[in-house]
Amino acid sequence: MNSQINRLKELSELFLKLGAIGFGGPQAHIAMINDEAVEQRGWLDADEFSDGLALCEMLPGPASTQMGIYTGYVYAGWLGALVAGLAFITPAFLIVVTLSWVYFQFQQLPQLIALFFGLSPVMIAIILGFCYKLGRKSIQNWIGITIAAMAFLASTFSNLSTLVLFLLAGLLGIGLYGSKSLRFNSVAPLGLLATLQPSFWGTERISEYGWPLFTFFLQVGTLIFGGGLVIIPLLEFEVVERLGWLSTADFINGVAIGQLSPGPVVLTAAFVGYKMAGFFGALISAIGIFTPSFLFIMLAAPVLVRLRQNTWVQAFLKGIKPAVVGAIMAAAIPLGQTAFGRETWALSILAGVVAIASLIAIIRFKVTAWKLILGGAAVGLIGYPLLGGA
């Protein structure tokens, strides 16, 4: 019993630390988990870690968070998975909630307007850079190009839900890449807490938005194959266009806030939840989007390690990944219109220069996102007032 308690304590201490300092994106998170849990502490051996990484890359959800859950599962069972996952998520969640509060309380301040002016074009570059990298890995032939193009057109010119679009693309992948018998027998779809105001906690709105937030983000958490910025087209269509929970400007700024935290980008869900129902809305949204990750690892890890080799599973993923590229490209259009459509031509040109320079820095020089965000913030704070920003 004491041994189990000690293991849980060790997990909580390590993953609280990693959750607080884990800037640099999912690959940096995974590298830190490997260094701490495998190299330094020996909680997993190299084969266990690589099997877990392959599993997490296959599953929907943020791979780095799932690696934390998996590490806890291997080291201390179900309780270990729960402790490691919650400890890893909590610091970034609190940072996102705090930044969300600052944003919605003070978003009309000139300094905050200038700050997000600089961040918006950087976010466009980060999204396009992610799209470029994902496309290089997932689009290998004319079939992938066709799926990506169809997803782009469907996302741009139809009201088809991105969740449905990804499911159709996955089924199309099964029809195209699955076993021969399956291909012939299936029809492939084409297609200060005490002093904070009640508004912070969201108690007045949680009864109205609590269940919709949870169920929506539960669906998103089940279908964000690829992790990272794959969440962008899903959220942009649903929360901006269909549900109207956020404006386009608030959405892109929310993605920037998600990038400012050390945790996974999917914590943008907490920003959306905070906007609709305060702290409790953020909490419910985070619970919804991370629940599938916990369930997949804690309940099905032994089976899913073997399932990774299944032809149908691989075919489903081969269909989804090009569709993600097309959907992200489509989502970038309205976001770009907001980022570059400024009060003056000078501001629009500056935003374009920041975006192009950031994209070159990502693709050519492998500059990390948080460095670009700091640079964009500096450009915004200096350049926005100089060029006539309101």
Find the mean pLDDT for residues 103-118: 93
Q: What is the pLDDT of residue 307?
A: 67
DSSP 329-361: HHHHHHHHHHHH--SSHHHHHHHHHHHHHHHHH
User: How far apart are alpha carbons 381 and 109 in whole angstroms?
Assistant: 12
Instruction: Tell me what pLDDT residue 194 has.
Output: 46
Q: What is the DSSP string of 270-322?
A: HHHHHHHHHHHHHHHHHHHHHHHHHHHHHHHHHHHHHHTT-HHHHHHHHHHHH
User: 28 pLDDT band (50/70/90 cuts)?
Assistant: confident
Look at residue 24 in the predicted model and tell me its pLDDT: 67
The predicted pLDDT at position 301 comes to 67
Cα 86 from chain centroid (whole Å): 17
pLDDT tens figures, 329-371:
998 999 999 999 998 999 999 999 999 999 999 999 989 888 8
Q: Is the pLDDT of residue 200 over 70?
A: no
Cα angle value 373/326/256 (rounded, 5°): 20
Residue listed under structure tokens 């609280």: 16
At 223 the three-state DSSP class reads helix
339 CB contacts (<8 Å, ≥6 apart)? 120, 121, 123, 124, 252, 351, 355
Taking the model in full, what pTM does it have?
0.85
- Residues facing 225 on adjacent strands: 60
What is residue 289's predicted lDDT score, i.e. its pLDDT? Answer: 96
Q: How confident is the model over 134-185, as pLDDT tens digits? A: 899 889 899 999 999 999 999 999 888 887 898 899 899 999 887 554 444 4
CB atoms within 10 A of CB 378: 12
Residue indicated by tokens 């309940």: 299
Domain boundaries, the chain: 1-87, 108-387
Q: What is the mean pLDDT of residues 42-46?
A: 92
27 vs 42: CA distance, rounded Å: 20
